Chain A
Amino acid sequence: MVGEGVEWEWVWEEVMDHGSMIIGVTGGKGGTGKSTFAVNISSLLSRKYRVKLIDADVECPNDHILFSKELKNEVRERIFIPSFNYQKCIKCSLCQKNCSENAIVMFKNGYPFLLPNLCSSCKTCYIVCPTKAIESGSKFIGSTFITEINENLTLVTGMLDPGQERSYPMVLRTLDRANEIKSEITIIDTSAGTGNHVAASLMDAEIVFAVTEETPLGLHDLEMIERLIEKMDKMYYVIVNRHGISDINIKEKVLGKIPYDERIAESYYRGIPAVEMFKNTDIENYFLEPLMEVGIWQR
């Protein structure tokens, strides 16, 4: 079906070279099975390697639900916001003029003040202030968690606080927190879309799986994510989930097709990875095949 001309040897050498390998799981469209795929391959790979799964879908992390685990080891994360020292401020309005988000408000002859909701914590105001009247403040944006799934598999989760609008800094915090864990294989489960929060998640990935479905919307979003991945110059393959639900047939770069199967749906609502629930069945092969094709899992 697939795998013509796949440079699997190259991939395997990567793993051997620096003792670790980073796999990104993305897809563009929401609800195509990114988390399902990520959870299942990390569960599979944890049988042979030390694996960490990073849930970088910080707006609604759900990988722990698919493992039926409670999140543990919470760390609150904060980002920079300017804090004004009005004793030093000379009302030069440089901070207000340079704020690209217009988060700093300054009335005629007044002191500047901040609308924290708009601040993207870019620190421009901090840098341009000639009198150092802007000091480092901070605000909480969310939490990161480290949860042990089994002795070989650790889940790192980032969770944005409700009401927070910027997921990009939270993704970076999550990736930072994941550095605490040593592993041979890292799997990054990104959120849907093609925004900078997805790009940030894929930054370090060496191989990217784009999970999609054969629907017009799935095709459209696949094109968008392909453009992003090509721009980032990553090696990527397409995984088709729920194969057989329509007449559309995606062929290009397809590494595996997971058919529409009620057993996978059952494992999903029971909160057990399909490869664990249906060990040694054809279900396992659906997830194993793409890994074999790229040589991460050897026959």
Chain B
Amino acid sequence: MRICIATSGSGGINDFVSTVFGRCPTFTIVDIEGNEIKNIRVIQNPGYVSGSGAGVLAAQEIVNEGCNVLISGSVGPNSYQVLMAGHIDMRASPPTSVKDAINLFLEGKLPVAVPVHGGGRRGMGMGMGRGHGPW
């Protein structure tokens, strides 16, 4: 089983789970074999520097990396659609260390993530202040 954790710093097993998914800087990808952590890898999130559609880019990357599970603080509505299409098991985690988050997941204690509408009236895919209306 391959787990991807959205991490808030430079990634790795001691980094912390990011509160956001689309615009977190790195993804830490671990393979689990019989409740043991193997093969820790860190990849850059292409959505971190993207103008718009960050969540979509990030989600595509996760699916293309062959991950089965995503652990993140939250998942945005656009990312959610893509991750659903890619059959990813999305789990929400508090901002603990990656290690703790994986253990919590393996114990079955992480709840299923639901899409959030962040950032006020028009959170949906409206990065960098685009598309904002009069208010």
Contacts and interface: CB of A to CB of B under 8 A. Distances in A.
Interface residues of A, number: 24
A105 interface: yes
B68 interface: no
B134 interface: yes
B124 A117 contact: yes
B81 A167 contact: no
Contact of A115 (B51, B54, B82, B131): B82
B53 A107 contact: no
Contacts of B122: 165
A249 B134 CA distance: 24
| Interface size classification for chain B | 20 to 34
B133 A167 contact: yes
Given A100-B51, A103-B53, A165 B124 contact: yes
B31 to A, nearest CB: 18
Interface stretch (B36-44, B56-64, B105-113): B56-64
A107 B81 contact: no
Interface stretch (A187-195, A223-231, A253-261, A277-285): A187-195
Main secondary structure of the interface of A (DSSP, over half): loop
B52, B57, B125, B134, most chain A CB atoms within 10 A: B134
Interface in B69-124: 78, 81-82, 85-86, 122, 124
A30 B85 contact: no
Interface string A191-205: 111010000000000
B126 interface: yes
Contacts of A102: 50, 52-54, 56-57
A235 B60 CA distance: 48
A118 B131 contact: no
A167 B52 CA distance: 17
Contact of B60 (A57, A107, A167, A193): A107
B43 to A, nearest CB: 14
B51 A107 contact: no
A165 B53 contact: no
A107 B86 CA distance: 8
A100 B134 CA distance: 24
A101 B131 contact: no
22 contacts: A57-B134, A60-B134, A101-B53, A102-B50, A102-B52, A102-B54, A102-B56, A102-B57, A103-B56, A105-B56, A105-B60, A107-B64, A107-B86, A115-B78, A115-B125, A118-B78, A165-B124, A165-B126, A167-B133, A191-B134, A192-B133, A193-B133
